[in-house]
Structure 1
Amino acid sequence: MDGERFESRSGPELEATVDRLRTELEGVRTAMRTRAVIEQAKGVLVERLGCGPEQAFAELVRRSQDENRKLVQIAADLVAAAAPPPAGREAPVEPPVGDAAESPVGGEAESPVGGGAGAPVPSGAEDEAALAARFHLAAAALATVTGPDEIAEHLHRTALGPLGAQALVLAVREPDGALRLVGAHGVTARRRSQWQRIPPHLRLPLTEAVRTGRPVWVIDRQEFAARYPERTDDLVPGTTVCALPLQAGGRLLGVLKIGWAARRDPAPAVAAHLAALADLAADTLLRLPGPPPSAASSAPPPDVLDPAGAPWFRAVLDGLLDPVLLLRTVRDRDGKVTDLRVEHANATTVDLAGRSAAELRGRRLTELYPGMVASGTFERLRTAAADGTPYRGEAERYVETVAGSARASAMTVQAAPLQDGLLLTWRAHDERDRRIAQLAQTGRLARVGTWEWHPGERRITCSDGVPQLFGAPTGTVGLDPRAALDAVVPADRDAVRAAARALLDGRTAVTADFAVRAADGQRNLRALGEAARADDGRLLALSGVVQDVTPWRRAEQALSDTRDRLADQRRRTEDEQRAVRALQQALMHAPAGRPVPGFDTAARYLPAERERKVGGDWYELLDLPDGTVLLAVGDVSGHGLPAATAMSQLRYALRGIAYDGTPPGQLLDRLDRMLCHQRADHIAAVTVARLDPRTGHVAWARAGQLPPVLIHAGTARTLDPPPGLVLGVTPRAHRPTAELRLAPGDTLLIHTDGLVERRGTGTDLGTARLLRACTDYRAAPDPAGLLDHLLRRLGGPNPFDDICLLAVRRHDDA
């Protein structure tokens, strides 16, 4: 049946189906490359037009139809206008490798746009908006690539082709400085094969761009021949070529080279555009999984498959201090590992038998080390090679017989799997050498040296570095006791003499701390000594250690000074806090006028919990001559005495201005002009309301403060806020006045942002919690109880900000 169905669809019908599926697949790939730009453009329109994603997409479609341009081009223009491309990165400073350190022709630095005979005429001003749009198209296309060849293809299609470029290549830098071609477009397969690897000493625009970390331009073939006379051909075809370094992740990865068929000298905008594209390509190369594929195929290059054959890999091994063997497996006809052959040995290799690297290469382990076979180590290595697992040996004693003589040493052998074999290294543990090295390291790190003196000797025997602690020149052997005592500062010489006499008189152990003169002032030393005596009491020797404790002494002094400064700062801060608290409490509890008829009122102030400083939050409740009541809550930036002083000035200025019946919006504008005229170094957020107790009418305005909350019939909502900039920014700001009427039983709550804001959460979330807490309050209609309820529900005090609340409630029978 399946065969008949297949037969029935063969011929033209099958070809049409395959063609249709191929077209659909290409459409899907194109959509994936352009989707990111379109989605970003939709986001721009959503923000600008205040519409939803569907309406934004419809707007893109409409513009595309009206302008008769592709939708993705419309989207790219929108994104480019909203988000210009980033500037090109600075190249990381890296030392040159090998012969690549040679200077350019003539020893002069390269210009970013090349030199050459005569200044070429620019190819025309490029539209920066169009360049930006192409950058975003390239970024979207590169987000879906899977290999360097696709990077080159999409760069050319979306960004470089429209600039007239005919070809480009991507090359990555290897550890020895050579460049390996990984991707290309517009370059023939033959040329790619011939230029697969470019040595670092070869002088070309590619290698110069990597060496200098800057773009290299060659305007025409005449200039190319003058600058690179030894080269008759080039990897990238074209009249003008440009090589751009690829840098990402803080390192230089390689180079991007572009060729134009026509002579070209780009404008600065084009040069910046190309630098941004190079950075984009570098980031994309880092994102690709695994090592970059070769230029010829998607398979890893030969030196990744077989690093032992790569010169750079052998150079890395030769730079190691420990011996390293690269071992290849030897297998029988069934594929079982029977032995391991030395493929390569690094330059420092000398084995237990004294054989060098050249004598080991090509030989089998069973032939070289029969003792390793007898001990079982070879079998463990063979198993590790067969299973592809690391081998971590313990310190063992190895014995090998060479020319009838047995040689032994304690060694630790370790191996890691590498391709079809192992990378093996070992470290010998000669006990005496190991202990000497450890002692030397301990002395160097701890600034400790040893000394010894025998009766009758004129000099003290010391370890390296001790004479220099007493000011002796470098290379001095031993220490003259008189010279050592002369180096001690006069104030400490008696203590040093007393310690020496105590040792000579039979004290078993003595410690002395003293200072010696040094080029940087003085050094603090600590000497410990003990006496060795024979059974009959005769003195055999004095010995001990001396340590340079200058860093510790200086650290102790610095710590003591810091403690003193901190204690003084703590005292001054406590005094300031007491003054601020007293000032703020005096202000908060200052007479605020008569009770408001027909209304219940309550206020709360809580300083920040963790800041341990009183801030500039405040409230005001004041009856005015015209029968109205002034309500205000404010927040001055900062903490401490300056904030409290600014708060008091602002509060009393508000009182003075409010007495003439000024509407709240104009009142805030006057305060703003006062702050700006004083050139105050702080800003303030304030909400001001004027309440008429007879009618419940409220006129209010705000300056950067959150809107008040109205609780009506058991439901809470925030008032629609009129515009209002914080005080202290500009004297020309205008703040309108809003109005409402409080019905009997209504409660008006004015608060600072410390009530709802918490680190890690937005204001909207905190406001929603506040409204729920207000709605949930079902106790007696008392503003004081409401405020206490809100502080419990919202977690007062705030760890990082002050909280200030003011609530007024109109009586039910008012």
Structure 2
Amino acid sequence: MAGEPNGGQDLDRLAATVERLRREAERTRRAADDRALLELAKGILVERLRCGPVQAAEQLATLAAKAGVTRLEIAADVVNEVARDRVGEAGEAAPEVSVRLRVAESAVLGARDTQTVAAALLEHALAPLGATAVAVWAAEPGGALALAGYAGFATEEARRWRHMPPGVVTPAGRALTERRTIWHADAGLPAIGRHVAGGRVTVPMLSGGRVQGVLEICWPHTLPPHPPRIERQVEALAELCAHTLDAPFAPLAPAAAGLTELVDLADALPDPALVLQAHLDARGELADFRVRHVNARITAGDGLLLEAYPLVSGALLLEAYPRAAGGMFAQLEQVHATGESFRAERMALGLSTTGVADVSITRHGDSVLLVWREHDEDGRLAGLLEHAQRLGRIGGFEENTVTGQITWNAQLYSLYGLSPGDQPVPLERLRDHAHPDDEIAIGRFLRTVLHHRRFAATAFRLTRRDGVARHMRVVAEPVFGPDGRLMAVRGAYQDISSQHWTEVALAVTRDQLAHTEQESAARSRLALQLQQAIMPPSHGTMESFGLHIAVRYRPAQKEHLVGGDWYDAVALPSRRVLLSVGDVAGHGVEAATGMVILRNALRGLATTGAGPAQLMAWLNMVAHHLTDRMTATAVCALYDPPTRMLRWARAGHLPPILLREGDGAELPMVKGPLLGAFTDARYEEGRLQLRAEDTLLMYTDGLIERRDHNLRHAQDRLLAIARRAASTLDHRLDDLLTHCNSDTDDDTCLIGVHLS
């Protein structure tokens, strides 16, 4: 007990010592916070005033003396003002956001390298938001990305992603190319840490209108809807990182990319060239480009409208040439921001005298080099001549699909027997100047060039208006702009009359084909001749009882695929009009023979006065009993002129199409099985009251069949083409044959009926 007083004194002294140490630690912590706040305020002034640290400290002292407060209070005001600028309402609604930003900014500004920057961001600003990893990407020339710093990822994972080449679609690459903040779900894109499911955000780090890099933040879970204050906080952190990357990690320009060397490079080019530098507004965003140099081609008066807008060094591009505010300025902005070069042919360019030029834009350090080559009238004519010579070739042409202008050279006028003052013949109207027997080949040629937009060639017989006939060969190819749009169709005509007759003479002396080939060719010819003997003219028209009827038949391109498609349009003794199309299954002589039987049988049965449903039932019996188990599809219609009533039935065939008042639709799908499939098949009958100016289309499936699409898709495509405006019924049918993109090489029958 005697030792208790001393023991109590020891405890008191120990408690006092602990309390003193706690107060000293608290003072040390506050002093450290005060120093960090002062350093943060100085860093902000260095950034905003573009001054050194000593001048920033003097500025703080001056402001404190004028306001009659301490330097610490002034520093707090400066930091709070910046926090309000960067997170807006978030600073007022959530004070912890401002505190977190201040702490993070202090840590980032004090970091030695970008790796430390990433660690500081994750620790002080992102971990409280639930993020588990961060990557800081530095932009490199050409649109590539380099991993400058990371935190939260394994070292081996970061090593695999140290460089991301241009063109690879990743979350960070998208933010660089699109220059916007993107919140990603787990969409399956390749990315650093991709094996960890969750959400991520990629933010471009902009500085002075250039993307210095991309800040990528990852969460271990799917991101819920985020409030605007979180978006503003993330963007503020990206802006902070942009300043840390600006000096040490910005893509270094080669020695030849300095302004002096770049000026020398521009002067050495044979084409007009401008050296441009970004002009920023008060907020530090790109507003225009200032011209730093114009090369000798421009100062000499080539390629620029100097009389209207003199462009000199120091001028702003948009002030001198407002027309550049279109697509060209957007491309300049993209190249300046990302460093990815841009090149295009036949691009609209406001700086050009002709408005069209080949353009090249590249970034060199902080500067952008714009080079273009004119597409003037002489150049276009020289290109036409070179193109015609490359194809061998006598007469060249170009049809501008944007303006509709057609350009012919003098030789082509001579080939057509026209004078240079006459109107050129559009490629689409080539049928009107060709021999009727060549219409099928010309139709395939036009469909390949104008619809499929591919190179094509064909031979045909040109019928000139002076009565002279020539054997011609025409070749054509589409020309596309940088956006993939069809700009023009170019090609050439060649007179091959002498070559044709030489080939005819040589063909007479050729050896006969082998026996098997002769037999096969004979069967194909027999089928084709049988088909042609029974079918009416494929380009004929008929006027009957107020109806204008036009028909088209397109045989299979390969003779051995000659099939059993048929069509018929005939006025009956009952003063009704019979319209029918059908398709016998199979190819060759058997199919052609079956077509003859069914078509003639239907004509004979129609004279009885029976309706379409009854005619289909009788025709089914013919197919089932009087042939060798033949199957076929067909559609049959009877038109009564006094009442304008159309009655129709179908046997497994596609329904007709009615075009009325600018719209088009298929007739109702009345029931009816294939011909020859069942002994006692029953067929429904449909009725349609026609009106003046109605158009009815009946066709076989060879018009629309494709191997890569189902039949419904092909029918919808046919309806879209049929709804197009057409000057005449014949032009409408020609348009359908040209643009309906079937690829099965089957026979095609098409009937068009227009009610006057």
**TM-score, with length taken from structure 2:** 0.31
**TM-score, with length taken from structure 1:** 0.29
